[in-house]
Structure 1
Amino acid sequence: MDVLTDDERAHALRLRAFLDEQVAPIANEYWAKAEFPMHLIKPLAETGSFGSAIPSVRQFENTAVFRGWAALETARVDASVATFVGVQSGLAMNSIAVGGSEEQRQEWLPRMATGEVLGAFGLTEPLSGSDSARGLRTTARRDGDNWILDGEKRWIGNATFADVVVIWAKDTADGQVKGFLVTTDTPGFTATKIEDKIALRMVQNADIVMSGVVVPESRRLQNANSFRDTATVLRLTRCEVAWQAVGIAVGAYEAALRYTKEREQFGKPIASHQLVQDLLVKSLSNITASIGLCLQASRMQDEGVQRDEHSAMAKAFATSKMRETVAWCREVLGGNGIVLEKGVARFFADAEAIYSYEGTREMNTLIVGRAVTGIAAFV
């Protein structure tokens, strides 16, 4: 935490205490039954977790470095809670902060910061994930003072209990992607929970279907007029997802380290075995390298010089190293590594989702490759 200011460090320690005391004891239980602990939402809001990047609603002045570290701290205890915060604060609230009018920001952001209003972010579709920039199939048709939305979304976190979903749809008139604030009680809007996931089981992902959903012009994000604006939101959050990946690796490493000191084989703790130490050191090295890259990317964001390729590199690298690390940590535990109560299995499973969402490793690599060569190799 030496990279944080004194005020930021105090808030980070407050967040860590909340997570250790209220989230850690119930994480396995809620993960196993695939339910989200709704009673934690208001206490999470009180820690300042929602809207921390938005000056008008954040509890205290902070940096991108702090926000990244907060994502690490949260994911270190549970990746599902970190993802919930990322959707509410990073994707939904930032969409309004970036793309909304001043009136829209005043209407929605204060209530979202307190957890009174819960949000979701609807971009990914059943047939459009990595190619959302061009392959978006959800349409928006202007009809007087209203817009008519038709289409489907998939993997939309928080959508089963959200009050409002930021829906990204293609305007049939000009072909541009625009953002809309769709309240979930709007006729023609349905959200159905995706069942039987093996990762992020606490996160309530949903399939969304919109059939003739009427949205007033006042609910169109007034400053979100192309996919460039969508990409701005993703750039702001992608680096925090990289920090989440580091947090997952840290959580798995800490559990594995504890286990090696408690578990005895051949008459001594397995921490004294050379091959076990090798796995622990490789894991710690991955974590250390990932923190260094994420820290630099966040500092560049604070300095206003971060570009797409910087956050893309951080996300691709950190999630790849996370995947290696959780596998090594599971290996340390042997057969016990697949049991929830031993502390690694949840991180091992959740890593697979973080590895893929907000841009796969391959897509983020191609973003960096385009910057390096000047040639886009996406298709």
Structure 2
Amino acid sequence: MNSGQRTSRLYYGWIVVGVVFLTLLVSAAINSLPSVLMLSLEDEFGWDRGAVSAAASIRILLYGLMGPFAAAFMLKFGIKKMMVISIALLVTSILVTPMMTEVWQYIVLWGVLVGLGTGSLANVLGVTVANRWFVKHKGLVIGLLTASAATGQLIFLPLLAQAVDTMGWRFSIYLVAGALLLLVPLVVLGMKNHPSDIGQPALGEEHVEKPAPFTGNLFTTPIKVLVSAAKSGTFWLLAGTFFLCGFSTNGLIGTHLIPACGDFGIPIVIAAGLLSLMGLFDLIGTTMSGWLTDRFDSRWLLFWYYGLRGLSLIFLPYALGTGYTQLLIFSVFYGLDWIATVPPTAKLASDAFGKEKAGMVFGWVLVAHQLGASLAAYGAGVVREALGSYTVAFVAAGFLCLLASLMSIRIRKARHLKATIAA
């Protein structure tokens, strides 16, 4: 088997990475669509910003809460089956959306159901695949799969914004549903659950190792892992910094940048283009972050990532009120750092708590991320309604990122922390 791996032209794990990359890419389009729809839904149905933001807040929260349980379900039933079920749930929810007439229906469809579906196709999926298939280049793979979310913005946001502007928001819904349906045969034919399924070791290992069967309870095991991991200060520092990461990225900028641009008379297509540009530079920044994570201390990488993000958010209100050049500078600078924090955070979790439980532990860290994002998604909408601008929300998020920067260097290097959750 070892000689077969050496003579093979392409390690099959890279094909698995390609399938997961495309799946996460389309999932990113779903997550970015509510920000494009926000103004259209307000105009057509008369819903206020706070009500529409509530759906985004619930979706973001469930996106995170699904993480540790999705990791357990992947261990029990396999990655492929979970991906197909999640895609089916998303397609059903999206196709029902044009029939809605009340805001509670939007909250159920795009808050609850889409939150559950995308939560099973989240960063936990990428971390699980990287841990199963790669020892060598693990950080790079996590960075690449994390960057797929940015690439989804790059490809879909301008297209969706243009579709909403010219064909109406319902057409954009059908466009995303069609992209999801195209994924199904790709996942069914190309996805494998584990390298041992095809008789190969993980890249960087010498021997084929079959995964230990999952014997715990699907719902209580992730909670037991959380209780055990919570005994470590490392877990709380990872969760705390990731809470502030979510607060300052998809919860705030991902949800409210387009409406904030609208407050300054910037057309929706141009505003979506700014997010798309962030996606392009985050593809570069997050992939590079994965490469750096394989080579440098993850704690100091996080220190710089959070610090630079904080400065860019403090600069944002000035950029919005000044002109397109300053917004372009912000988009490039912020985009390089959008989700570059994921590879070093995932590596710190894996190093500290072990390969087998890394998916569930990182899933709980991701819950903290989405709690922060959920708070920002709803809170920024409330602040905008109360004060008439997003300035306070953006500046406050910037200072919180500076706090996260200081918290990052307090994380201990992994020594024997794996014993903490051995039970």
User: Normalization by structure 1: what TM-score?
Assistant: 0.37
- Report which of the two has the higher share of strand: 1
- Report which of the two has the higher share of helix: 2
Q: Which has the higher contact order (CA 8 A, sep 6+)?
A: 2
